[in-house]
Amino acid sequence: MRYCVADYLLDRLNECGVAHLFGVPGDYNLQFLDHVIEHPTLAWVGCANELNAAYAADGYARCKGAAALLTTFGVGELSAVNGVAGSYAEYLPVIHIVGSPSLAAQQRGELLHHTLGDGDFQHFSRMAKEVTVAQAALTPENACYEIDRVLRESLARHRPGYLLLPSDVAEAPATKPAHPLEIRTPHGESAVVESFRKAAQAKLAESRSVALLADFLALRYGQQKALQQWIDDTPLPHATLLMGKGLFDEGQQGFIGTYSGAASEEGIKSTLEGAELVVCVGVRFTDTITAGFTQKLSAQQTIDVQPNATRIGERWFSGLPMAQAVEMLHQLCKRQASHWPTTRQKPPALPDCESGTLDQHALWLAVQNFLQPGDIVLADQGTAAFGAATLTLPAGTTFIAQPLWGSIGYTLPAAFGAQTACPNRRVVLLIGDGSAQLTVQELGSMQRDGQKPIIFLLNNDGYTVERAIHGAEQRYNDIAPWDWTQLPQALHLNCQAQCWRVTERVQLEAVMKKAANAERLTLIEVVLPKQDIPELLQAVTSSLARRNSGEG
């Protein structure tokens, strides 16, 4: 088979660390899929629908650094756009490849299926510009150049890219790449770097207590090891917000917990907000993770390190990459550390549960004891995410949630993507019944591929987060009751899954012991009180209710 544009694209994706392509086949991408099947080191992963494929690619990217998604033109790409938008909001480089009608058909303006019937084939690529950082409509002349450009932009800026691949262009001849794809490491101008160093040194020297708050952008921009080394060298009190949970070793001395503004445990709040200086790395304060913007960290009190600029007090140093700022602050802190008090504070432990009742408190205490080092833990936006925020994660845990985009149902297909990326790690999924009803089809894909996630299905009879915000007894917050433990069997003909339904605390603990080292897909339906929510979520939903009514 001669080398063509399809092969070039797959080789470049593979070079970027992408070993799987998620998606749904359609007639405009079928010829391209033949090349995927033939590729020696990049595998096809079919999903039940395009939205689930986009979520799966997002979960994969969180574990591998990048991902790729394939849909067909129009109907397929629009089904996926919600998932791609989530990757854009939360900084994941997912390459969305769209198989489109041939160039000849487009040039003739034919009224083809999956179009709006007006001869305009650019409607959907114009839509994609809002949720991708780079886009290209490929032709035989520009394909290799444009593929490289879009991949570079997406990887450098940690956000999705869009490639419109006509069916005939996929088969057009191409030349194998002669050199690896170069992703340039940015460096700040010397004058900016020197000005920043002086200002940071002065700020650190005048501060009698310093704390470190890091979050999800530090993960996306590859600063996890650098921050851990910083903490090892200079034992500062440190914390994350919910989006960056898992960034630090949460069992290490000095990690104080998850900061949530006014909803934080008192020790976390007083340590951070009471510090003379808080170095914020990759932090974005959003409504749900700060209980409605209740953080009390002033501009004068903070150094704010963002991907391409850093603020000290009111002054911004633009064009300074995060990695450079982190390294400089690390070295400056080492020189000043002897002047600052150290902390032996640890995250607050969940209080013990005296009752045998299975409620939110008992559930999260049991989950805390269930987790193991190296787990991948996914918590869907709702009671699951806000209950998980109070956990102290074991070493090496990857935590996946989506509190900014907040698309319910995201985590079930994301767990499929994460397990595809890391087949030898234990995946623990925490998802509510309302969320799971949106994307549950991927249980079939998990079984088809021999995956063995442990799924805790939190059955609290409907949309509990919405009940807490507004309309506790309104029928719009109700859902159809499903027989959850029968679903794996319904979704795969040769089902090997093990399933339990638990209604009491002692049952949950007994089942967890059996499931701890599961060798097959495990679904545990945890029946919880309808109106019971974690304490942190209570603070957040109260804030959202006020803001939605115009009071906040």
Indicate which residues carry an active-site annotation.
27, 50, 113-114, 406, 433, 460, 462, 466
Report angle CA 354, 357, 362 to the nearest 5 degrees: 70
Report angle CA 120, 118, 143 to the nearest 5 degrees: 20
CA distance 363 to 371: 12
CA distance 33 to 395: 39
Bridge partners, residue 398, by sequence: 376
Give the 3-state secondary structure percentages of the chain, helix then strand then coil, rounded to 5: 40, 15, 40
Cβ-contact 94, 131 below 8 angstroms: no
Q: Which of 236, 242, 241, 280 shows the shortest CA–CA distance to 254?
A: 236
CA distance 396 to 471: 40
User: Mind spelling out the 3-state secondary structure of 275-315?
Assistant: CCEEEEECCCCCCHHHCCCCCCCCHHHEEEEECCEEEECCE
Report angle CA 402, 381, 273 to the nearest 5 degrees: 75
Q: What are phi and psi of 427, to 5 degrees?
A: -105, 125
Helices within 115-233 (DSSP H only): 123-128, 143-157, 167-170, 190-206, 216-220, 224-233
Say how many C-beta atoms besides its own lie within 10 A of residue 424's C-beta: 6
Q: What are phi and psi of 477, to 5 degrees?
A: -100, 5
Q: Is 41 exposed, middle or buried (0-12, 13-18, 19+ CB in 10 A)?
A: exposed
Cβ-contact 496, 472 below 8 angstroms: no
Residue for token pair 């001669």 = 2
**Could you tell me the end-to-end alpha-carbon distance of the chain, in angstroms, rounded to an integer?**
63
Helices 75-89 and 50-64, packing angle to 10 deg:
30
CA distance 134 to 186: 18
